[in-house]
Amino acid sequence: MGDTTPRMATTSQRLLESPLCERIFAGRYTELLKETVDSPAGAYAPLDTPFVVGALAFSGRQDEAVAAFRWWAKEHGDDATVRVASHFFLGLGECRSGRYASAIAHARAAVAASERGEALHAFFAHQTIGLLRHFTGRARSAARHAAKARQAALEARFPYGRMLALDLLGHALVLEGQIHAGMSVLEQSAELASSLGLVANAGAPRTAVAAYSARFGVAGFDAPKVLTELVAAVKPEDAYSRRMLLSELAIQQAFAGDGQAARDSIDEAARIALPDGDRRAKVRLLVADAIVLGLSRGAAAAREKTSLARAMLDPELDDGLDVEVTWAEALVRGALRAPDGAERARIAALARRTHVGRARLMAAIGDELAALDPHEEDRVAALVRAIEHDPDEARHRIVSQGIWGWLPRLFGVDPGRRIFLLHAESLLVVEDHGAVAPLEMPGAVLVRLLDAIATRAMTKDELVMQVWGIKAYRAERHDPLVHTTVSRLRTALGPAGAWIRVTDAGYAMSEGVALMHLGGAIEGVDPPTLEDERPRSSAPSGAEARQKAADARREEIARLLAREPLSTSEIATQLGISEMTAFRVLSVMVKDGVIERTGQGKRTRYRVAS
């Protein structure tokens, strides 16, 4: 006969059946604490100690979390399950604050307390080690332990644990450079959280996906707008997430050319109170501040922030933060390639230790590397490389993605006050120390006037000659024409119209304002190309065949646009060509007046000219 005696539930089973288990993993920390340690009696079951410890740690009360665990260890410290789970929550709290020496101690204690054969113990041990590896920048090791934690959670029938392991695995894969794969795993974590009824938990990995999409330039949305909405949705008590999102938002606003908004986001993040020991948050805020300053004030202004951040690093344990600081230094100087042999050797060693994607990318950049990898998942890295090696590709990325803050870097100049004329795109872009805004290209007369006064102060008779080609200046006849045209130019320049100043005899541009042309010249003065100057040969060549192919492609594009307006990427997909090729053909067709360009940034579309 079989044994029908009811079996005693193990401590692991009783822990998972506790009412507080769901609350801690649902993020209801305040509610949990009010029912336990913050209640009038301050009492709770010894078995619930890990959940109380976790709620205290996640609420920024790490010292109280340690005290609660020590009380349990003194009074009831004979249960391995409670011990392992408590070390997990304490280790995570220390990781989030950047106190890695303490986190290492908790990880070792979790492993030591684990009992062989206990799946729940294995989950907490691997998850604790994986989190430590992730926060210290050991991407490959973090992914490996996250996968083991997921398997252990399955064996323990612990869906909350599987959700956490998937979340860690997704972050680790992104850190390693497998950006799309990592974001896919994060979506799996969100779906599992939703199926468990944990709406807040589902939001966390999806928030991470949005932040990563922006960080690596793979977002198919308006990154500043989406991140602003995410910041507004964060719970007030979640200071960690709010500060992280504000830092990312500031960087994206700087990329978009909204320098003042970026400064405001940095200041708001700095006002968020965090524990004094949260060195990690302080370093990451300095990194974001350095990138914002680099795009608005230049490398010298940013260097102070990166130096402060580097001075805060622990040389033994902060490899993950070291990669972030090194990356910021690369963006600030506008080149991923290390400036000297010693620095290149340091980055190569950092890449070998961490396997972090951006560290490996910087280590792989050599003086001879000029080609761009079309499959590069980190599109921000691809942009910086294109600025160095393929300006046409970089210009396409900046214009199509609306990341105007990068435009000065394309010209190889420090931030300042400038007017850029992008002839191929029919855009005029105004820059004022990080505030970069695209405007429609004004007419040819206004462009000639702008070009004239940007060179030097011009008298009215000089302007009449240079802009209109009129040799005999007559004040009563030509002054109204000059005044009206200057007024129209000021209007076309928007706020930068104030940069046009009146002189005793005419007009000039304010001191320190530069005008830069890209992708063309002023109407009527295009220089002859080499093809125009080369003697014609009667012998047949491939030129005619190439011209026929180009004409056929233009006709095909015109047919597509006759049906509906399309973006560059949509045309490239339908024709089976690269976006850069499509962009070049479209630019020529716009210049020829065959089609016209509407919208800006991600909303750019082409249509048949009206």
Over the stretch 476-524, which tens digit does the pLDDT of each residue have?
A: 999 999 999 999 999 999 999 999 999 999 999 999 999 998 765 444 3
- What's the confidence (pLDDT) of residue 373? 55
Which residues does 431 contact at the CB level (< 8 Å), separation at least 6? 257, 404, 407, 408, 415, 416, 417, 418, 419, 420
**Which of 199, 209, 128 has the alpha carbon at shortest distance from 164?**
128
What does the pLDDT read at residue 234? 87
* 324 membership: H or E segment, kind and range: helix 319-333
pTM as predicted: 0.79
Query: Two tokens at 261?
Result: 């908004």
Q: Confidence class of residue 534 from pLDDT cuts 50, 70 and 90?
A: very low
Question: Contact at 8 Å (CB) between 560 and 572?
Answer: no
Angstrom distance (rounded) from CA 475 to CA 496: 27
How many residues can be counted in the chain?
610
How much is the average pLDDT of 330-353? 88
Domains and CATH numbers, the chain: 9-218 (1.25.40.10), 427-518 (1.10.10.10), 543-608 (1.10.10.10)
- The answer for residues whose C-beta is within 8 angstroms of residue 177's C-beta and 6 or more apart is 139, 356, 357, 358, 360, 361, 377, 378
| pLDDT tens for each residue of 152-204 | 999 999 999 999 999 999 999 999 999 999 999 999 999 999 999 888 778 88
Q: pLDDT at position 521, please?
A: 44
- The C-alpha atoms of residue 262 and residue 250 are separated, in whole angstroms, by 4
Q: Which of 64-68, 75-79, 383-387, 483-487 has the lowest mean pLDDT?
A: 75-79
Tokens of 403: 């990341």
Q: What is the pLDDT of residue 89?
A: 95
pLDDT band at 281 (very low <50, low <70, confident <90, very high): confident
Tell me how far apart the alpha carbons of residues 88 and 70 are, in angstroms, rounded to a whole number.
Answer: 14
Joined tokens for residue 32: 């949990």
Residue 280 has pLDDT above 50, yes or no: yes
User: Which tokens is 588 given?
Assistant: 């020529």
| 537-590 confidence digits (pLDDT tens) | 444 445 566 667 777 888 888 888 888 888 888 888 888 777 767 887 887 788
Give me the pLDDT at residue 277, please.
Answer: 59
Token digits of residue 510: 């304010």
Are 280 and 318 a contacting pair, CB within 8 Å? no
Burial 510-525 (b: 16+ CB within 10 A, else e): eeebebbebbbeeeee
Question: Lowest mean pLDDT: which of 10-24, 337-351, 439-453, 569-583?
Answer: 569-583
Selection from 170, 151, 171, 172 nearest residue 161 by Cα: 151
Lowest average pLDDT, out of 16-20, 152-156, 417-421, 553-557, goes to 553-557
Tell me what pLDDT residue 601 has. Answer: 66
- DSSP secondary structure string for all residues of 402-422: T-GGGHHHHHT--S-EEEEEE
Mean pLDDT score of the chain, rounded to an integer? 87
Q: What is the mean pLDDT of residues 412-434?
A: 92
Q: What are residue 400's phi and psi, to 5 degrees?
A: -70, -30
Report the C-alpha gap between 92 and 168 in whole angstroms.
12
Q: Render pLDDT for 216-251 as a digit per residue (tens, 0 to 9).
A: 998 878 899 999 999 999 887 778 889 999 999 999
Q: What is the 3-state secondary structure (H, E, C) of 290-310?
A: HHHHHHHCCHHHHHHHHHHHH
Q: What is the mean pLDDT of residues 280-289?
A: 93
Q: Please check whether residue 35 is in contact with residue 22, taking contact to mean a CB–CB distance below 8 angstroms.
A: no
